[in-house]
Structure 1
Amino acid sequence: MKLLILFGLTLLCGVESLKILVYFPLPVRSVGMLGQGIVRHLLDAGHEVTFVTVYPMKDVRPSLKQVDISSNKELVAKDESLMLSFMLENNVQDTDVLYIQTFFKENSRQTFTNENFTKFLQDTSQRFDLVLADLMESEVSAGLSVVYDCPYVWYYSMGAHWHVLRLIDEGKNPAYDPDYLTTTIAPFSFLQRVEQLWARIKYKALKTFITLPEEKKIYEEIFTPLLAQRGRTLPNYENVIYNASLVFGNEHNAVKHRPSTPQNFKYVGGIHIPDPVTPLPKKLQDLMDNAKHGVIYFSMGSFFKSKHLPQSLVRGLVKTFGELKETVLWKFEEDLTDLPSNLHILQWAPQASILAHPNLKFFITHGGLLSSIEAIHFGVPVITIPVYFDQFTNAEKAVKNGYAIRVPLSYDLPETLRPAIKSMLSDDIYKKKVTELSIIYHDRLVPPGKELVHWVEHVVKTRGALHLRSPALNVPLYQRLFLDLLAVILVILYIIRRIIKNLTTKTPKKTEKKKKN
């Protein structure tokens, strides 16, 4: 018995508790869920976490401190352009790149001027072993690694797109690697390749000449006095943003059509899904258990709310769902009256627990990445209605992977949804395909949470994991494109041409003219 106690104490002593700053400033509930999932895994591994968040956790522990920046919600609270009704009325299909860059830049500005966060940053007694920050368009938060003089890790809420790969390696070729705002998936036609090339040129031009200078100014205004308090000077912004040790990507190997990635890019998709899932509330559990024809679940996510749909469209959907024999669960944020007996409104839906239920037939979704990952995790086919941002890309991937049907968001949605529902109920190919992907998804050496914890600890243990960094970051663009070699070849060709020209050009003979008397 004494030997067992001694062995246990030895194990405990071998566990080194790290102090980790987790930074998730985006006022989007789904991204907040990712941050909370990361924090839970780090806490369970015995580490101390300070969580900068818009959505503070209720799971309070002694090893968890939280910095409340919930005032960031003001950025989206009154923005009508981000409501479903606006999308419908204005037929929004393309995403405004400059608007997105500006939004995330302003989100950074608001976060670093938040009273709670400002007070926290000015406390010079704070020490951290690592900073783990959400990455979305703005890299201003990279300055946190300078303040705390520790390794820095990005968490990217999407897959391995060139926007993020450029920070640790190089952006992949637009001929086969689309960005997350596209509506098409490789292989591309000629015109699609041209569109992808133009989209990248446009994005980089806006970022380089408009957004980046403004972000650099925010970086200098915020971090110069913080470094002065600590007796240090601020390094160059361009050097800091390319200094991350790792990037965690919120995707997984079951999804096809992904670009190759460097060794310091790690997939941890599904990290937010509890294992085991939380039990359903008894009333909902009984409802799903007793649904003899199965259940259909409909949700437009946490950001886009069904209550913002026009009333005519809402009543049309109610009529469409009422024609079904299946039980329908609709996440709708307000009460609805005059409902058919098979339609049930949920103002809050425990989505993972619903998707895990064996009676669920399929999932009607907006196609957000978290919902897409959950569908594969639980082996549930989907009808996807993409609205904005990366949802079009996610929808195209789901369709090409064979487990989804895409339906456009329009005023005709009640009508266009009918044949999609019929196909999903009558054809079992969608269920077969998603089951195949789910097997691939679950066939991992370790769950995503344990993998994240391992690499976080590895970065600290190896003082920044420099051995994992790509050599591409140290190679100037002109060398990567062999422009210097091209210049040498052109010079040599020019010299050869001149030599040949001189050798082949005959010198005209001079003739003397005789004088005439």
Structure 2
Amino acid sequence: MKLPIAVLLATLCLQVGDSFRIMVVFPLPGKSHTILGDGIVRHLAAAGHEITYVTPSPRKIGPKNVRYIDVSENYKNFPTDTMNLKHFMESEPMDTKFVLETMLKFHNETYHCPNVREIFFDPNQQFDLVIVEWMFSELNAGFGAILGAPFIWVSTTEPHWLVLRLIDEASNPAFSADIMGSGLPPFSFKERVSQLFTQIFVRGLKFMDSSEGKIYSSLAPYFKARGRDQPPLQEIAFNASLMFGNSHVSLGQAVTLPESYKAIGGYHIDSKLPPIPEDLQKVLDNAKHGVIYFSMGSNLKSKDLPDELKKSLLKMFAELKYTVIWKFEEVLPGVPDNVHIIQWAPQTSILDHPKCVLFITHGGHLSTTETVHFGKPIIGIPVFADQFINVDRAVAKGFAKRVDLSMTMADKLKVAINEILQDPKFTAKVKELSFIYHDRPATPGAELVHWAEHVIKTRGAPHLRSPALDVPFYQKMYLDLLALIVAVLLVIRTAVLRIFKKKPSKKQKTQ
């Protein structure tokens, strides 16, 4: 009887000894970003760590070892006037400059939120690790620097040049696509030039814009309160211990990655799926020919579609033999018998149901991850940001069709539905990718916890740091060697010219 008690006490002591204080920072006011932040917190809290979670969507009731820091004021900077389907149909695609400016507003608001300031001004609040979301700005690196803790970047998409440059070097534009663009390698000459120009243009935008530097300068009182000097932003931005990537090779491409990049795509999917409401469960169970699930995500709302397009979609769905579940945010008149409107959908549970045969999606990264996780083909209707490249990748991998958002897309959507559901190769391909996705040595959640603890236990994991970060640009490009070669050639040219200039001609000698 004494031995089990001793073992129990030893186990409890071990758990207490391995419990760390971790801050998780996901300040963007979007449902998908909150889902990703919640996933990190869920795994770390389950591992017994003490979590401080900076979020615009705090829970009223959460785990006892999670403290929520409310930054819901960030919602006032959410561009609701432009983030709707009708706007995207009538306007030009969202440009990079707008994205950069919007992200800076969110980060600035977060740093100066009273709830966050309270933590910074209290030196007694110490942390072993900070995990921060990267979103088109390096400002969040300041959390680790202010608190004096190692930090981990979280990249919410597949790896791309903007994030890889922070832990190694930017990926080559000749064979890697920009996350905000469209198209996949191999590129044509025109596409390669376009990808190169994009990198140069975005670098130029970030270099010329002084807003990021001004916001960082305003953080000086926080460093002073902690008794620390404020290092340059360019220094701390490239000082992350590692990067968590919400990615996996089954979803993206087999790109070159440094040791400090850890792919944990799919970690947000809870092994315990949410329950399906009874009425919806009946719809799924009784679908004779299968269910098509249609959702434009959490930020984009189907209710914002033009009325004419709504009617054409309902008319097209009525002609199908399949049952359609459409996530729609308001009451919709004239709904045919085979179409079921729901304002909230337990998406992962629907995709997991055996009667679900097709997912019509906007192509958000979480949705495309979930469709591979559950092995369901998709039709992608990309609207903005990374949705275009996500859908293009799915099409290239063979489990998707792309239909562009337009007033006349109903007919094209019907053609795509019939092509996918009448040809078994689409489902077979996504099942194959689903196997690759799941065939890992550890679950993404376990990977997340392991590497977070590894960074703490190794005091920032300096052994994972890429040497590329310590090599100046001119040395990487061998510009110093080029300068030396040019200088030597100029010296040789000058010497040769002087020799021939001083040498007298034969005519001068005879005189």
Structures share fold, TM-score greater than 0.5? yes
Which has the larger displacement, 484-493 or 295-304? 484-493
Partners of 1:352 and 1:10 lie apart in 2 by 39
Whether contact under 8 Å (1:185, 1:257) holds in the other structure is no
1:499 is displaced (CA, Å) by 4.3
1:491 is displaced (CA, Å) by 2.1
Partners of 2:205 and 2:253 lie apart in 1 by 27
Equivalent residue for 1:265, pick from 236, 261, 265: 261
Whether contact under 8 Å (2:159, 2:245) holds in the other structure is yes
For residues 453-497 of structure 1, the C-alpha deviation after alignment (integer angstroms, 9 at most, x for no partner) is 000000000000000000011000000000111111222223333
Whether contact under 8 Å (2:120, 2:226) holds in the other structure is no
Aligned match of 2:96:
97
1:205 pairs with 2:201: no
Aligned match of 2:213:
216
Equivalent residue for 1:319, pick from 297, 306, 315: 315
Aligned match of 1:295:
291
Aligned match of 1:48:
50
Equivalent residue for 1:356, pick from 352, 365, 380: 352
Within 5 Å, give how 1:127-276 maps onto structure 2. 127-210=126-209, 213-221=210-218, 223-276=219-272
Partners of 1:305 and 1:209 lie apart in 2 by 35
Aligned length: 507
Aligned match of 1:67:
69
Equivalent residue for 1:406, pick from 382, 402, 407: 402
Q: Label 1:305 to 1:17 Cα distance change in 2 as closer, same or farther (>3 A).
A: same
Whether contact under 8 Å (1:23, 1:52) holds in the other structure is yes
For residues 388-429 of structure 1, the C-alpha deviation after alignment (integer angstroms, 9 at most, x for no partner) is 000000010000000000000000121211101111111111
1:279 is displaced (CA, Å) by 2.8
Which has the larger displacement, 276-285 or 236-245? 276-285
Q: Label 1:43 to 1:434 Cα distance change in 2 as closer, same or farther (>3 A).
A: same
1:445 is displaced (CA, Å) by 0.6
Aligned match of 1:453:
449
1:114 is displaced (CA, Å) by 2.0
Partners of 2:245 and 2:61 lie apart in 1 by 25
The residue identity in structure 2 corresponding to 1:95 is: M
Partners of 1:9 and 1:315 lie apart in 2 by 66
Partners of 1:503 and 1:71 lie apart in 2 by 76
Partners of 1:361 and 1:190 lie apart in 2 by 39
Partners of 2:461 and 2:509 lie apart in 1 by 80
Partners of 1:374 and 1:326 lie apart in 2 by 22
2:140 aligned counterpart, secondary structure = helix
1:502 is displaced (CA, Å) by 5.0
1:14 pairs with 2:18: no
Aligned match of 1:442:
438
Aligned match of 1:492:
488
Aligned match of 2:5:
5
1:11 is displaced (CA, Å) by 2.4
1:219 aligned counterpart, secondary structure = helix
1:146 is displaced (CA, Å) by 1.7
Q: Which runs of 5+ in 2 are unaligned?
A: none
1:143 aligned counterpart, secondary structure = helix
Partners of 2:451 and 2:252 lie apart in 1 by 24
1:82 aligned counterpart, secondary structure = coil
For residues 85-143 of structure 1, the C-alpha deviation after alignment (integer angstroms, 9 at most, x for no partner) is 011122x3x43111011010111111122232223332232111000011101111211
1:289 is displaced (CA, Å) by 1.0
Whether contact under 8 Å (2:55, 2:68) holds in the other structure is yes
**RMSD after superposition:** 1.5
1:372 is displaced (CA, Å) by 0.3
The residue identity in structure 2 corresponding to 1:233 is: D
Partners of 1:511 and 1:417 lie apart in 2 by 91
1:140 aligned counterpart, secondary structure = coil
1:283 pairs with 2:279: yes
1:370 pairs with 2:366: yes
1:368 is displaced (CA, Å) by 0.1
Whether contact under 8 Å (1:186, 1:257) holds in the other structure is no
The residue identity in structure 1 corresponding to 2:12 is: L
Partners of 2:228 and 2:269 lie apart in 1 by 41
Q: Which runs of 5+ in 1 are unaligned?
A: none
Partners of 2:60 and 2:37 lie apart in 1 by 13
1:37 pairs with 2:39: yes
For residues 332-382 of structure 1, the C-alpha deviation after alignment (integer angstroms, 9 at most, x for no partner) is 011112211111111000000000001101100000000000000000000
Aligned match of 1:508:
505
Partners of 2:314 and 2:510 lie apart in 1 by 107
1:34 aligned counterpart, secondary structure = helix
Partners of 1:21 and 1:196 lie apart in 2 by 36
Q: Give the TM-score normalised by the residue count of structure 2.
A: 0.96
For residues 24-48 of structure 1, the C-alpha deviation after alignment (integer angstroms, 9 at most, x for no partner) is 1101101110000110000000000
Whether contact under 8 Å (2:251, 2:369) holds in the other structure is no
For residues 438-462 of structure 1, the C-alpha deviation after alignment (integer angstroms, 9 at most, x for no partner) is 0000000110011000000000000
Which has the larger displacement, 313-322 or 443-452? 313-322
Partners of 1:5 and 1:285 lie apart in 2 by 46
1:58 is displaced (CA, Å) by 4.8
Which has the larger displacement, 173-182 or 396-405? 173-182
2:287 aligned counterpart, secondary structure = coil
Equivalent residue for 2:330, pick from 334, 343, 350: 334
Partners of 1:62 and 1:87 lie apart in 2 by 42
The residue identity in structure 2 corresponding to 1:184 is: G
Regions of 4+ moved over 6 Å: none
Whether contact under 8 Å (1:271, 1:449) holds in the other structure is yes
Whether contact under 8 Å (2:120, 2:225) holds in the other structure is no
